[in-house]
A and B are shown apart, each in its own frame.
Chain A
């Protein structure tokens, strides 16, 4: 062994420390020569800030990208995604195809969203088309359900309308900015209860894009029966599934914590709705994730010292269509139950095995995808290198007049709604 890995960590979580110690890594302070840093987003930002002038070495790896907020801040994610759609449309990419009603066939996976106060007038226009719709207001920079509320009348937004009129040219200060999104009012209910999905996605590189989907995601259930009745708009337990909110509900259960494995959800959906639609749902979720990452891959500072493990929040509606709600850069590592603790320990373990193969000193010049048996509970979601190679191969074959089989449709473009064989299939 060339030398022991030194780790730094500014989040005191046993699932992290236990994993580092299991590998025989030694603890180092943030100022020392660490090889691996599991840091808060703020620390990463400081390290990469220009004033700091700190340069990372080839044997240093850190768990965030410097400008991860392009994906994880609700307003920026929406902006990036809208641009991504336009770009694809401009180049005539079939992925940007629209259906008869003018909606994107493959890229319509976030609820209609506006920034407030900036887009107030656009929002009003949209709201008037469906005056009975419910909308959800979220502060742009906050997580865990803080500051969220629902509205179904314009009068509830007086404050923002005034703001937009009086200082329409003033940039909204980050603190007061909100996004307002169409509330998914036809969520899929299981046992009569609403839930959302928490999925974990590991990105090791943005250009080329290399990402992995974790198999052990879970559903988070509301403890209170779902009702779309507007009189219940104030009862946040019905609408929000964040564990940090649900924990304050009377019905919170410490044994399961309202968490249900994805595996159980699949068993239930296949059993009650059939295999085809269930497969399609999971396919759609995978694609939604890939598109959300591709949408930011151009703007993301693709620092080779960085990787990131994101928490994806997804809601499924009763037509089994998945909607991306938001992406978290620091998904909670606090464990609510015994099973949760084991899962999170494994999540860190499997993530480390991919970004720090064999637990040895890292070398950021290494840019290969680990072999399949080293992925643990991760599945390769998308590898741009492999996808490109695949397309080249198929292009060559088709030019040579060889059969390309049923995938002929895919060969027309670099990217369509169908998965290329190099990813999760």
Chain B
């Protein structure tokens, strides 16, 4: 963004201003300003100047700065351009086509499941069922419906097959990762904790972000992440959360069974995450009802699935997004939120952090786009790193039919959730937030291949290569990244 032209800059300012005007911050600040002006001590002679200094003194300037900074972070992930709308979503035509074909496939799978099982996409729950669901809300994991006929709509493998990545192997190694400052090994030192406390006291988003680059001490992570993501759960948020919950209670969606099954198949079966099963059911069901997630789709060629109210097929005005969040979970989707349970245990707070992490980052990992944070770019980055720095390994694996990307893809798509040890994963996500970039995922995938190169050079089949890389829970993140970035 350093080289932005004046026009791009003014475009950015417009965008940030527009976005901020739609937030409660705008109304709150107006009210605060009005209150200031009504004070007897207020000097009306120089209205503008007095107002500015009054807002600064009462702490509003800090809040505004943090909000602007967070908007900039989100914009920084996108190309700054003044392009026509469809290009803003996705400038590459073939990418638009690929995503469209993929969506068609998911939809077909969803629809045929409906037909086969004769289950409606959505139905209103009878009052008795609503009551029952409400009483079981915090122990949804203990319910045992027969879901054997439901199958995940898609798994990382399907997504990889659908995409032809070979034509996309050009990539640009990105600033922010390759030129990152050194990452100290001892992130838990008390000096770090002291510094972290000061960062939190300053209530300063950009400081918190800088801080996270070097990893957060476990005890401060929750607060630091909340500050970077701008998540403060106030009474309005609580109300919103309760509203979403009531949507779940009132209506039964086919998606709910898919979510339920995914939690059961992944987190509930996992040494690290099984204890959080009930919590995960809650927040994932709520997520599926949250229409604010739809804003993710504004900047990719992806389009949420549409459905029609019964009997009104094809009538524009009866069209609804399905599910309300627009996100159809894939096999393993649960893991994005499971890891966060180690940091947040209050359901609403956990939910809003998850939603923010999803819309900012994870969304890009299962939609096709030419976005630099998109899965396609991450795959290309991974392949080019491996090809450039480990050519022998790269060609050996290709030669024996063990396409490296085929193994690394599921890691990337799940941001390593469920693959690394629980503590190491959080250290990795510290860097994602700190550098505001997913490219660290590609670097780590490359580092893992490089680290296990001796064993990988001995394999002669895909299965053998997969076995060498099947258990990543013993890996230590920081030394691995250092190995990859600085040697």
Q: In this assembly, does A253 line the interface, its C-beta being within 8 Å of a C-beta of chain B?
A: yes
Q: By the criterion of a CB under 8 Å from any partner CB, how many residues of chain A are at the interface?
A: 29
| Cβ-defined contact, B275 with A190, below 8 A | yes
| Cβ-defined contact, B277 with A272, below 8 A | no
Query: In the complex where A225-B138, A268-B342, A272-B344 touch, is A260 in contact with B218 (Cβ < 8 A)?
Result: no
Which one of B222, B278, B422 lies within 8 Å of A267 (CB-CB)?
Answer: B422
Contacting A at CB under 8 A, from B270-298, are: 270-272, 274-279
Which one of A191, A250, A260, A276 lies within 8 Å of B278 (CB-CB)?
Answer: A191
Residue of A nearest to B270 (CB): A256
Query: In the complex where A251-B142, A270-B219, A275-B193 touch, is A260 in contact with B271 (Cβ < 8 A)?
Result: yes
Q: By the criterion of a CB under 8 Å from any partner CB, how many residues of chain B are at the interface?
A: 29
Question: What are the residues of chain A within 8 A of B269 when measuring CB–CB?
Answer: 253, 255-256
Interface SS, B side:
helix
Residue of B nearest to A339 (CB): B271
Residue of A nearest to B138 (CB): A192
Question: What are the residues of chain B within 8 A of A92 when measuring CB–CB?
Answer: none
Q: In this assembly, does A271 line the interface, its C-beta being within 8 Å of a C-beta of chain B?
A: yes
CB distance from A228 to the nearest CB of B (A): 14
CB distance from B474 to the nearest CB of A (A): 12
Q: What 0/1 readout, one digit per residue, does chain A (388-409) give for beta carbons within 8 Å of chain B?
A: 0000000000000000000000
In Å, the complex CA distance between A271 and B223 comes to: 10
Interface SS, A side:
mixed
In Å, the complex CA distance between A190 and B138 comes to: 12
In Å, the complex CA distance between A224 and B144 comes to: 13
Query: In the complex where A191-B278, A224-B142, A225-B142 touch, is A271 in contact with B342 (Cβ < 8 A)?
Result: yes
| Cβ-defined contact, B278 with A255, below 8 A | no
Question: What are the residues of chain B within 8 A of A267 when measuring CB–CB?
Answer: 218, 342, 422-423, 426
| Cβ-defined contact, A264 with B219, below 8 A | no
Which one of B275, B422, B423 lies within 8 Å of A191 (CB-CB)?
Answer: B275
Question: What are the residues of chain B within 8 A of A261 when measuring CB–CB?
Answer: 271
| Cβ-defined contact, B276 with A191, below 8 A | yes
Q: In this assembly, does B139 line the interface, its C-beta being within 8 Å of a C-beta of chain A?
A: yes
Question: What are the residues of chain A within 8 A of B250 when measuring CB–CB?
Answer: none
Q: In this assembly, does B231 line the interface, its C-beta being within 8 Å of a C-beta of chain A?
A: no
Residue of A192, A193, A224, A261 contacting most chain B CB atoms (<10 Å): A192
Q: What 0/1 readout, one digit per residue, does chain A (208-250) give for beta carbons within 8 Å of chain B?
A: 0000000000000100110000000000000000000000001
Query: In the complex where A191-B276, A191-B277, A191-B279 touch, is A272 in contact with B222 (Cβ < 8 A)?
Result: yes
| Cβ-defined contact, B274 with A253, below 8 A | yes
| Cβ-defined contact, B144 with A191, below 8 A | no
In Å, the complex CA distance between A44 and B404 comes to: 57
Q: In this assembly, does A147 line the interface, its C-beta being within 8 Å of a C-beta of chain B?
A: no
The A-B contact count (CB < 8 A) is 77
In Å, the complex CA distance between A339 and B274 comes to: 15
Query: In the complex where A192-B139, A225-B278, A274-B219 touch, is A264 in contact with B345 (Cβ < 8 A)?
Result: no
Question: What are the residues of chain B within 8 A of A225 when measuring CB–CB?
Answer: 138-139, 142, 278
| Cβ-defined contact, A193 with B275, below 8 A | yes
Residue of B nearest to A219 (CB): B275
| Cβ-defined contact, A275 with B279, below 8 A | no
Question: What are the residues of chain A within 8 A of B276 when measuring CB–CB?
Answer: 191
Which one of A224, A255, A260, A339 lies within 8 Å of B275 (CB-CB)?
Answer: A260
Q: What 0/1 readout, one digit per residue, does chain A (350-371) give for beta carbons within 8 Å of chain B?
A: 0000000000000000000000
In Å, the complex CA distance between A221 and B274 comes to: 10
Q: In this assembly, does B299 line the interface, its C-beta being within 8 Å of a C-beta of chain A?
A: no
| Cβ-defined contact, B278 with A192, below 8 A | yes
In Å, the complex CA distance between A261 and B142 comes to: 22
A-B contact pairs, 17 of them (CB 8 A): A191-B278, A192-B278, A193-B275, A221-B274, A250-B144, A255-B271, A256-B271, A259-B271, A261-B271, A264-B272, A268-B341, A270-B219, A271-B218, A271-B342, A271-B343, A274-B219, A275-B218
